[in-house]
């Protein structure tokens, strides 16, 4: 008696290959879209944090200049004879505070 082969012959075309290929393509497209969305969100977050840092630096410089001005006025009120020296020191202090504000503005961008 001859032995029969129990293996089924493979079809010449795979019925699932087209569907698998379409699913793979759809997944690839979704991954690319997600990557683009993530990149754009990262850019937006970076811009927002840069703007917040710039605003904080410039705001701190404005507060510093205001405090220097207030203290200079107080000290001139207490000792009017030293107004020339106080004026020079307060102008230097204000310039340094504004310089740090500009530095914060440019570094945060």
Q: Environment class of residue 61 by beta-carbon count within 10 Å: exposed (0-12), middle (13-18) or buried (19+)?
A: buried
Which pLDDT does position 21 carry in this prediction? 67
φ/ψ of residue 6, rounded to 5: -95, -5
Q: Taking 70 as the threshold, does the pLDDT of residue 84 lie above it?
A: yes
Quote the DSSP letter at residue 75.
Answer: H
User: pLDDT band at residue 32, thresholds of 50, 70 and 90?
Assistant: low
Q: What is the pLDDT of residues 38-76, one digit of tens each?
A: 667 778 887 788 888 888 999 999 999 999 999 999 999
Rounded CA-CA distance 34/81 in Å is: 69
Rounded CA-CA distance 57/103 in Å is: 8
Specify the length of the chain in residues.
Answer: 109
Of 3.30.70.270, 3.40.640.10, 1.10.10.10, 1.20.20.10, the CATH number of 29-108 is: 1.20.20.10
Tokens standing for residue 69: 């001005």
Average pLDDT over residues 2-21: 60
Global pTM value: 0.59
- Of these ranges, 8-17, 35-44, 100-109, the one predicted with the greatest mean pLDDT is 100-109
Tell me how far apart the terminal alpha carbons of the chain are, to the nearest angstrom: 87
Percent of all residues in the chain with a pLDDT value above 90, rounded to a whole number: 40
């Amino acid at each position: 008696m001859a032995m029969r082969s129990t293996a089924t012959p493979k079809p010449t075309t795979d019925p699932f290959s087209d569907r698998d290929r379409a699913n793979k393509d759809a997944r690839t497209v979704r991954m690319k879209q997600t990557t683009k969305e993530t990149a754009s969100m990262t850019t937006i977050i970076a811009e927002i944090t840069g703007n917040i840092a710039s605003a904080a630096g410039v705001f701190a410089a404005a507060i510093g200049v205001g405090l220097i001005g207030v203290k200079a006025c107080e000290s001139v009120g207490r000792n009017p004879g030293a107004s020339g020296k106080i004026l020079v020191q307060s102008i230097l202090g204000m310039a340094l505070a504004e310089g740090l504000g500009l530095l914060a503005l440019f570094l945060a961008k």
